[in-house]
A and B are shown apart, each in its own frame.
Chain A
Amino acid sequence: MKKTITILLIATIACAGFITARRLFNEAGEVLSGTRFNWYESKTQSEIENGNRFAQERLSKKYHIFVNGIFVDIGYDWDGIIYVPIRSISDSLNWIVNWVPDLGMIQLVKDNQEAFVDIVNFFGKGYVPLDRLEDLLSLDNVQIHGGNIEIHKGGGIHQSIDSRKLPRFSFYINGMKMTDNAVQYQGEKLIPSRIFALSFGRVFRYDAMGGHSYIDSSRIHAVFVDGSAYSTLEHLKAFVDTGGTDFEFSEFTPDTGPLLPVIEKGPGEKVVALTFDDYLGDKVNPLLDVLDQCNVKATFFVIGNSIEQNADVLKELVNRGHQAANHTWDHYNNHTLTDDEIRAQLISTRLFTEKYGGQSAPFFRPPGGYYNDNMVRIAQNAGMQTVLWSLNSTDADPQNNAKHIKRVVTQWVHPGAIVTMHTGRDATIEALPGIIENLRDRGYRFVTISEMAKMQGGE
């Protein structure tokens, strides 16, 4: 009798142990939620933190690049070699810059000259060593002093007005701060022409040889302040379709006040927010169909430069009850941009989302999770709260198949999880029904980021 009881006890303990171990494995994120043992969530957070720390360190030795006296871009010292962005500099010297995707190279063409150039690709921007560029473009003179690189080629040096002698203003587009660097000169308020053009998704080009500035292919009138082209609002409106946009100048006041918290995860309830980043394109509609079939509303962080040619996709996305939020215009690493450039990235994406989708959710996700407090404030001043994620589905890696993605999400999901996924991945679409079914069976409810923010008392 005793023996039987002992065996039964051992069997019960073994069964319980097996069930616990199985649950611990299959539902590790949930079981370990709120403890320091949820290593995947910790790993996700530390990946973002380490990525930012590393990026800031690698981008700390930076140079502002001026061509014939005009600011064109930013370069970096990497391992003792100064790398500069090839497109903006070559473009300013009237070289045609062609990307050759089969080779991962850039082809430069001007008159009867041609060059194939290897680049270092950093978040979609191509960089080359400065001395290589000097050779390629036969630059007349390159001087490095302080944090500036001054390049001279043909033409003269275009004189700039020193902004320190001018009254300074902030300038807003539809209530979103575009710049703190608007100035008053000779009785007129001037704004940075390039940032204005970029804020409306237009192409700005500076011709360093002639000293002229262009929006798309139209030459504009500009004066140079601190090495940047400035124009009046009225003049710029003649070149950019601003529709019913509101503009406002206000006295410059430094940004202070509390920062909105960065949303990394939701409350401790059994809710999950599915989020999809990147370009609008052919694969978004099949993704929407899957979400519809499963009756799930999701949040899309959209790259702005893909909106205009996929306007119908954006409209469909919003019509089906999903949220379209901001993933910047170009998906650059924000650490490589100036404050005004980040603002233009956010404003243009928001304006296009509202124009073509009818509405825009007030959230911003920094590409790659690259952000700092300054960017959080910039987004806040453009009416957006910064959103990261607590669960990386790993679908960005093309080697991960649907089975792997499903296993990662279902194993590591936790109450309040914000899952990051991507548009344009077949494996993601394939994995979604299984993920949704699994989480529903476990009692999870799907919410958008807006709903999640409301549950936390935000928005």
Chain B
Amino acid sequence: MIGKKMIFVLMGFMVIAFLTACRRNTPPVDNPPGHPQDDTHWKWKQLGFENGSVEKVQVTSDGRVFALSGGKLHLLEGGNWKAAHLDTDISTFYLSEKGVKGLIVAGGFDGKLYLYSIEDSSWNVVEIGAIPEPIDIVTASPSTGEIYVGQSSKYGGGLWRGTGGGAKWEKLTDITVRGIAVHPEDPEIIYMVDKVTYLSTDGGKSWAKVETGANYGVLIHPLYPETAYLAYAQGVVSARHDGTITSQQQFYLPGGMTRLEFNPASLNEWALGLWDYPSGVGGLYYSFNGGGHWLEVGEKMKDTRILDLCFDKDGKTLYMGTADNGLWALNVEELKKDSKITRCSVME
């Protein structure tokens, strides 16, 4: 009698186990070979520069990946990195998808600009009148492709605008500049960041002070360009394009921001690099509700110092340039399936 019961119980277990096995998804694979966009069923990919640092990463709308590591520019082609050889080191770069096609504008540590043609694999040097100190930032107007260059040092600096694929340059201001953002639709609206934030609504002819800092950049979401988000170590200040501050949002995370980036495909999905310098811990955080709550992603980015973040155009892949841990890609779709909510740790 007992034996019969046992058989039924065991059979029941077997049926449950079978059904569970059928339902279960195959776990995502870490680090499959090839380019991130070659397949979809993965979560993390190490894209190179193992044990090295990647200071900046950019992904074009057609999926090409560019990385700045150790002062050198690299292009990911067919799963391999190709260095864009230049005798001098560069401090930053930007590839504009408007204007001259395939032109990368790189800022040197010597205050010069270096223009790289992807097609010809050749460099051209351009003097814009900057002092021989590092160029801090290069970006471009998303709507016109005009290039903006900022420099900030104790010896001076300024903001420059280049047109015609970097053929013609004008200096807009002597204010030292370490951050620039241009409105995605209205090229007349420009933000620049030095010791405080400045706003121009007339294409850089005049500037008004916005009474706050934005040491981690000004972000304007392409899906909601009415608001500028001024990023500081602990959160963001939201402002309208007349300079009015509308809100302040502290993230209350256990450390300071190293980088903030918006998912271009989703208004409320934000990625953030966090680092607490005194304790040497941090990593990647992700928010699905516009910074209201942050998920500690952990895993491959646990206690990794993130230097740069970049989404692909669909917002499905997040690229992370790190200190001493190379370049990584994260499948955002997989993150959505599997994430845990962080709790801020509070010291006594």
By a beta-carbon cutoff of 8 Å, the part of chain A in contact with chain B is 54, 58-59, 76, 78-79, 81, 83, 102-105, 108, 113-120, 122, 127, 134-136, 138-139, 277, 367-369, 396-399, 420, 422
Q: Which residues of chain B have C-beta atoms less than 8 A from A398's C-beta?
A: 346
With a CB–CB cut-off of 8 A, which chain B residues contact A108?
Answer: 195
Answer whether A120 and B256 are a contact pair too, CB < 8 Å, given A138-B154, A277-B348.
yes
Tell me the complex Cα distance, A368–B347, Å. Answer: 7
Is residue B152 within 8 Å, beta carbon to beta carbon, of the partner chain?
A: yes
Contact call A136/B277, Cβ cutoff below 8 A: no
The reply on B323 being an interface residue by CB < 8 A is: yes
Find out whether the CB atom of A116 lies under 8 angstroms from the CB atom of B196.
yes
Indicate whether B204 reaches chain A with its CB closer than 8 angstroms: no
In the complex, are the beta carbons of A116 and B278 less than 8 A apart? no
Residues of A within 8 A of B158 (CB): none
Interface string of B228-259 (1 = CB under 8 A from A): 00001111010000000000101000001000
A105 near B232: Cβ-Cβ < 8 Å = yes
A118 and B256 within 8 A (CB): yes
Cβ of B216 < 8 Å from any Cβ of A?
yes
Q: How many residues on chain B are close to A (CB under 8 Å)?
A: 32
Find residues 130-189 in chain B having any chain A CB closer than 8 Å to their own CB. Answer: 152-154, 176
Could you tell me the distance between the alpha carbons of A119 and B216 in the complex, rounded to whole angstroms? 12
The residues in B between 107 and 124 inclusive whose CB is less than 8 angstroms from any CB of A are none
Residues of chain B within 8 A (CB-CB) of A104 are: 232-235, 250
Among B233, B280, B344, B346, point to the contact of A118 (Cβ < 8 A). B233
Interface flags, B256-295, vs A, CB<8A=1, else 0: 1000000000000000000111111000000000000000
Which residues in A have their C-beta under 8 angstroms from that of B302?
A: none
Bound complex: CA A399 to CA B153 (Å): 43
A103–B195 CB distance below 8 A:
no
Across the two chains, which residue of chain B brings its CB closest to A104? B234
Ordered nearest first, which 6 A-B pairs have the shortest CB separation? A116-B213, A115-B195, A118-B233, A104-B234, A78-B277, A122-B278
Question: Which of B215, B250, B347 meets A117, CB within 8 Å?
Answer: B215
- How far is A368 from B279 in the complex, measured between Cα atoms in Å? 14
B343 adjacent to chain A (CB < 8 Å)? yes
- Does B212 sit at the interface, judged by CB under 8 A? yes
User: Taking the complex as formed, is B305 at the interface, i.e. its CB lies under 8 A from any CB of chain A?
Assistant: yes
- Residues of A with C-beta under 8 A to B323: 79
With CB as the reference atom, state the residue of chain B lying closest to A102.
B248
Most chain-A Cβ atoms within 10 A of its Cβ — which of B213, B234, B250? B213
Contact A118 B216 (CB under 8 A): yes
Residues of A close to B233: CB separation below 8 A: 104-105, 118-120
Contact partner, A78, options B152, B216, B280, Cβ 8 Å? B280
**Shortest beta-carbon distance, A93 to chain B, in Å?**
13
Q: Quick one: which of B176, B248, B279 has the most chain A CB within 10 A?
A: B279
Closest Cβ neighbor of A78 among chain B residues: B277
Query: Can you list 14 A-B pairs with a CB-CB distance of less than 8 A?
Result: A79-B275, A79-B277, A81-B277, A102-B250, A104-B250, A108-B195, A115-B196, A120-B233, A127-B277, A135-B152, A135-B153, A396-B348, A397-B345, A399-B344
Q: CA of A113 to CA of B213 in the docked complex: distance in angstroms?
A: 13
CA of A59 to CA of B256 in the docked complex: distance in angstroms?
A: 18
Interface residues of B in 178-228 (CB under 8 A from A): 195-196, 212-213, 215-216
| Nearest-neighbor residue (CB-CB) of B256 within chain A | A120
- Do B347 and A134 touch across chains, with their CB atoms under 8 A apart? no
- Measured in the bound complex, the distance between the Cα atoms of B323 and A81 in whole Å is 12
Shortest distance between the CB of A134 and any CB in chain B (Å): 5
What are the residues of chain A within 8 A of B345 when measuring CB–CB? 397
Closest Cβ–Cβ distance, residue B153 to chain A (whole Å): 6
How far does the Cβ of A129 sit from chain B's closest Cβ, in whole Å? Answer: 9
**A83 and B154 within 8 A (CB):** no
Q: Is the CB of A134 within 8 A of B232?
A: no
Q: Are A135 and B212 in contact (CB under 8 A)?
A: no
Interface contact A396-B346, CB-CB below 8 Å = yes
- Further pairs besides A127-B278, A368-B348: 19, Cβ < 8 Å: A59-B278, A79-B323, A81-B277, A104-B234, A105-B233, A115-B213, A116-B212, A117-B195, A117-B215, A118-B232, A122-B278, A127-B277, A135-B152, A135-B153, A135-B154, A138-B154, A367-B348, A396-B348, A422-B348
User: Is A396 a contact partner of B196 (Cβ separation < 8 A)?
Assistant: no
Chain B residues near A76 (CB-CB < 8 A) = 278
A77 nearest in chain B by CB position:
B277
